[in-house]
């Protein structure tokens, strides 16, 4: 809701951003950083008062933390002897748990209702973005590890942001959720395969290690979220609950098999890892859901709000840490990497929409496929770069791609929102 303060905040942001430009022209880098950060803070707060602009507030906050980490990287790399980059994987797991807790098995059944759209969406996602990333990496001759990062962001599944954009654009939200869910479910197999094939030309890719990382960072936290949802909402029938409980423990068992293959673990190590995973991702969310459902009976949406806030803060922290870690590399190739990331993103939208049109999908589905192809799970790509020990190089493209896709996605969604889809009305002839 607009208040008297919001116009003044926007005016203040304009003055501060202009001051940052003047400071830069006079080579006063210290003041430039201060003015830029303060200007972005005022702008992010000011746009909250305008209905058509408040959707950009979070993206502007991302720009704020990126600016801070570029000017003052020393504050975002470590605290004492603690390396902040070690927070990336736990934060990603919390974000994925939040995603899983707001989903259900029904989100994966959309393929039954709309198989054509789901198949086109998933196949397009895993063909278009990896090949476009591979082409960009070759054409622009980036250093090998940065080129691998461009390919990596193209090989990961779509993220939650694409669902939000489909909702804003009045697209097919059910299709968006289903394509995103299935692309995520396939990612432990597809992403390492594509990276081994395409990215292996630039860096060494260990297939089993990458599969294990994806299972640990994405699939198991989502399973934990499903478990939490199953016992918190209590809306599943007895048969459905039993099937889900068996399915989730099988997923944990299969993940442990991948662990044994990746780490060459013996039988004792296999059993220990299985018990550990079952405790963290199966029993803990079950107990937590039962306890919280008793204490928060009157606040059903309370947990959802908390997890949503944690997810937003978590993504901002991940982007900040990666930007600070890779600051020196960004100063060398940052401008070109921004351009190529924008090209990668926009090409995904264009080819996703065009292919859907050629294959005869309706307008609502075309918009959905455009977002599902063009928008990626940057958090997963960042986590994988971290697990490779190359967050300052391989992690740069994901760190840039994420904020950019939120800007372009917001603009495209609002543009489409202003162009409602005309439903075809059948006229019965008498």
Predicted pLDDT at 356: 96
Q: Is the pLDDT of residue 370 over 50?
A: yes
- Whole-angstrom CA distances from 250 to 4, 253, 269, 276 are 57, 5, 18, 14
Four-residue CA torsion sign, 331, 332, 335, 337: negative
Instruction: Cite the beta strand spans of 324-365 per DSSP E.
Output: none
Phi, psi of 102 (to 5 degrees): -100, 10
Q: How confident is the model at residue 427 (pLDDT cuts 50, 70, 90)?
A: very low
Residue 300 binned pLDDT confidence (cut-offs 50, 70, 90): low
The Cα 232–Cα 297 span in angstroms is 10
Q: What distance in Å separates the CA atoms of residue 96 and residue 223, rounded to the nearest whole number?
A: 9
Q: In sequence order, what are the residues at sequence separation of 6 or more whose Cβ sits closer than 8 angstroms to the Cβ of residue 291?
A: none
Q: What is the model's pLDDT at position 297? A: 60
| Confidence check: pLDDT of 69 > 50 | yes
Q: How far is CA 82 from the centre of its chain?
A: 26
Q: What are phi and psi of 82, to 5 degrees?
A: -85, 120
Fold of the 52-76+84-417 domain: Na+/H+ antiporter like fold (1.20.1530)
| pTM as predicted | 0.89
Q: What is the pLDDT of residue 119?
A: 94
Please report, rounded to a whole number, the percentage of residues in the chain having pLDDT higher than 70.
93
Q: What is the pLDDT of residues 139-170, one digit of tens each?
A: 998 999 999 999 999 999 998 788 888 887 88
Q: Pick the more confident residue, 306 or 396.
A: 396
Q: How confident is the model at residue 132 (pLDDT cuts 50, 70, 90)?
A: very high
Q: 178-229, pLDDT tens digit by residue?
A: 899 899 999 999 999 999 999 999 999 999 999 999 999 999 999 999 999 8
């Amino acid at each position: 809701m607009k208040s008297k303060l919001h116009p003044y905040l926007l005016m203040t942001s304009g003055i501060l951003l202009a001051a940052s430009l003047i400071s830069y022209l006079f080579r006063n880098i210290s003041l430039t950083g201060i003015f830029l950060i303060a200007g972005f803070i005022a702008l992010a707060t000011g746009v909250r008062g305008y209905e058509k602009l408040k959707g950009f507030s979070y993206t502007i906050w991302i720009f704020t933390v990126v600016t801070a980490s570029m000017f003052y990287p020393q504050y975002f790399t470590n605290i004492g002897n603690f390396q902040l980059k070690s927070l990336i994987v736990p934060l990603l797991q919390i974000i994925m748990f939040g995603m899983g807790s707001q989903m259900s098995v029904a989100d994966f059944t959309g393929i039954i209702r709309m198989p054509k759209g789901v198949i086109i969406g998933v196949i397009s996602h895993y063909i278009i973005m990896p090949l476009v990333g591979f082409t960009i990496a070759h054409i622009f001759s980036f250093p090998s590890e940065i080129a691998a990062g461009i390919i990596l962001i193209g090989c990961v599944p779509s993220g939650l942001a694409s669902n939000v954009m489909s909702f804003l654009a009045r697209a097919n939200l059910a299709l968006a959720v289903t394509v995103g869910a299935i692309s995520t479910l396939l990612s432990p197999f597809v992403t390492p395969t594509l990276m081994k094939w395409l990215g292996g030309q630039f860096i060494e890719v260990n297939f089993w290690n990458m599969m294990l990382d994806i299972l640990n960072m994405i699939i198991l936290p989502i399973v934990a979220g499903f478990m939490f949802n199953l016992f918190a909402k209590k809306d599943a029938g007895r048969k459905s609950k039993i099937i889900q409980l068996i399915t989730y423990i099988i997923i944990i068992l299969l993940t442990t098999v991948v662990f044994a293959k990746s780490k060459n673990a013996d039988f004792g190590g296999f059993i220990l890892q299985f018990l550990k995973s079952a405790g963290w991702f199966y029993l803990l969310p079950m107990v937590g859901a039962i306890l919280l459902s008793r204490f928060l009976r009157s606040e059903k949406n309370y947990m959802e709000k908390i997890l949503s806030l944690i997810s937003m803060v978590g993504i901002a922290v991940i982007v900040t840490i990666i930007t600070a870690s890779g600051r020196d590399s960004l100063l060398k190739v940052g401008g070109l990497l921004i351009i190529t990331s924008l090209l990668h993103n926009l090409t995904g939208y264009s080819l996703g929409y065009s292919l859907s049109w050629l294959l005869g999908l309706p307008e609502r589905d075309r918009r959905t496929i455009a977002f599902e192809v063009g928008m990626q799970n940057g958090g997963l790509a960042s986590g994988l770069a971290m697990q490779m020990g190359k967050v300052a190089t391989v992690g740069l493209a994901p760190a840039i791609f994420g904020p950019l896709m939120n800007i372009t996605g917001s603009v495209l969604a609002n543009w489409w929102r202003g162009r409602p889809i005309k439903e075809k009305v059948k006229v019965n002839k008498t």
